Chains A and B, each alone.
Chain A
Amino acid sequence: MSDMSEDLQTNRLKELKETALPCFQCGVCSSSCPVFRVSPELNPRVSVDSIISRGKVPSEGNEWLCAYCLMCDQRCPMGVSLAEILMVIKNISAKEGQAPPDVIESAESLMADGCQSPISSRSEKQREDMGLPKLPRADPEDVKMLFRATGAAEVLELNRSTSGEASE
């Protein structure tokens, strides 16, 4: 499925380029973006402009600042989904080994535990004390299998090695 994944990604970017074309750079997305308000280095309008006018995916790290709150998606007068475009840029950035360490860490935890943050014995105890049931857990092998079959394991591997290089 990894091949399919790659095709899908290229196809999705192509699709998104088409959906981005109606953008006339009015700036309603950036005006509504809570991140842009405090960190102007993330500017959804500029990201789309880069795709349309430079035909280039601006995966320079800023895309990871998108909180995916979808305010831009809600208000775009031309029906362009900026948050979805940024999500694809994140995909591409991850494929280039540029995913932030904390994202990798959360995904590793999910692959191992089925949960984004490691489940500690303390939190299990807290549930018990509170009279909450022990939650059934997914078979870790199932989750690993799905990670491998759908490309995330590969992306994780790649990012692990690049972050290793960076630390050397």
Chain B
Amino acid sequence: MYNLVMKDLKLGISPWFLALPLFTGALMLIPGWVYFLVPMYFCFITVPNMFGGFKSQHDLLFSTMMPVTKKDIVKARFAVIVVLELLHLLIAMIFGAFTLRLYPNLTYIFFAPHPGFWGLCFVMLAIFNLILLPMYYKTAYKYGAATTVSSTAAILFALAVQWAGIRIAALNDIFYGPGTENTGLQLSILLAGVLVFTAFTLIAYRVSARRFLKVEII
């Protein structure tokens, strides 16, 4: 599996997409912006370009010619996607920490980059993975519908929690009010988000691997 991951990182993915998290992460420095958009750039830009590259370079045929199992092909691709997602989130979190210190008295309309917000971002990417990858692995090359549906689901989740965060008092307290000072609560939400991300991605892997076993390399 390691060789497949290295194949993706060295051949399949343009180095630009490894650098992109630095640029999207820097957008966290815009005061009071819609920070949900930062990890969403991974969904909008990296995923379709990366999958388009795999398709145009016949990566599926290339991989299946190698002495590797089909499960390992899926596992390696999941590993690469998760690494890129974590790169986007971790770099954005670092920039977000600077933002909180740079603009301490800002009134946020959209979520501020507190740890709890990053928990929500993990859930958003969990939903994205859960829809994108099993849909993609029905064919292992058609990515248009999978990207559209999964990105739409991620946007709807972001809109729903943003709306709830503004309109529902209990949530407003957590993300805008005294809850932002409660480090334990914030870290708990972050941890819950990481757990949801892990669980959903594992489920997505199991479904994808099962589907890919049935895919014929034509």
A binds B: no
Interface residues of A (CB under 8 A from B): none
